[in-house]
Structure 1
């Protein structure tokens, strides 16, 4: 079964690269691992959850812009089991169209997002706050949240880590 999934992903990768004539000349001859893994990640996410594909389509239906984050990864360090922590990721609209955060989807229920709901004008800042409840964890944890915004390469992934002490 695993080999069938691998073959399906390989076939879809080939199809994805061959459908875009511009990329065909630069990517097919010598695809770099970043491009290949991006395609595989995108295909895996779409097949894993069709809702994500709809969220990407919705976000990219708005005029595209560009975004900059203060950081995309945060380490809480050592925290006690049961402690609730949060971190604010600052976003800046570096493009010429309003930046719209359509949704922030955490990897599991232990993380709750809060984010700027209004369009962020060019040159202005917004924020995404991730609230993490460490109650059900021990030791090292790494968590993710996908940010669906109107940028070319959506979703943008935010990550955080912590070491949960007893």
Structure 2
């Protein structure tokens, strides 16, 4: 019986390697805001003053905000297509317009500590037209639960 199953299983049509290849034309191709491919060396580059921020001790229920300042040190327009917090308590706001070479901008992050306690670490994931295309920012805090009176 085992020989019969092996024979049947091995007779399935094998896919050719050419049929399973994925084109790399759309993977990590830096582009300018105009959609034209960026020349090598002229791609946008996002450089942050800092990528991590600690709010220190805060009281549960408190909302705190921090601005991550960055600069486009590349040679073409930088486009941020999305910014996503790791949970609903972490809400980023980012520039919707292209950031020109040499220009500074900021990502504002609001953290709502409602329902949180102890050491909390959250992230914001940016998707850009840089290479690599994702950048992760981190916020942390120690949330103190107030004593009930």
TM-score by length of 1: 0.63
Note if 1:161 corresponds to 2:136.
no
Note if 1:133 corresponds to 2:112.
yes
- Is the Cα–Cα contact under 8 Å of residues 111 and 130 in structure 1 kept in the other structure? yes
Aligned position for 2:59: 80
Higher helix share: 1
Aligned position for 1:67: 46
Mapping of residues 36-47 of structure 1, within 5 Å: none
Q: CA 1:80 to 1:68, structure 2 compared with 1: closer, same or farther past 3 Å?
A: same
Q: How much does 1:65 deviate?
A: 1.2
Q: How much does 1:91 deviate?
A: 1.1
Mapping of residues 12-161 of structure 1, within 5 Å: 60-62=30-32, 63=38, 64-161=43-140
Q: CA 1:106 to 1:57, structure 2 compared with 1: closer, same or farther past 3 Å?
A: farther
- Is the Cα–Cα contact under 8 Å of residues 28 and 133 in structure 2 kept in the other structure? no
Deviations 1:98-121 (A, max 9, x none): 011111011111111111111110
Q: How much does 1:61 deviate?
A: 5.0
Q: Decide which structure has the larger Cα Rg and report it.
A: 2
Q: How much does 1:129 deviate?
A: 0.6
Q: How much does 1:153 deviate?
A: 1.1
- The 2-side partners of 1:89 and 1:57 are apart by 27
Structure 1's unaligned 5+ residue stretches are 1-18, 20-55
Higher strand share: 2
Helix, strand or coil for the counterpart of 2:110? Answer: strand
- Is the Cα–Cα contact under 8 Å of residues 97 and 122 in structure 1 kept in the other structure? yes
- The 2-side partners of 1:75 and 1:163 are apart by 9
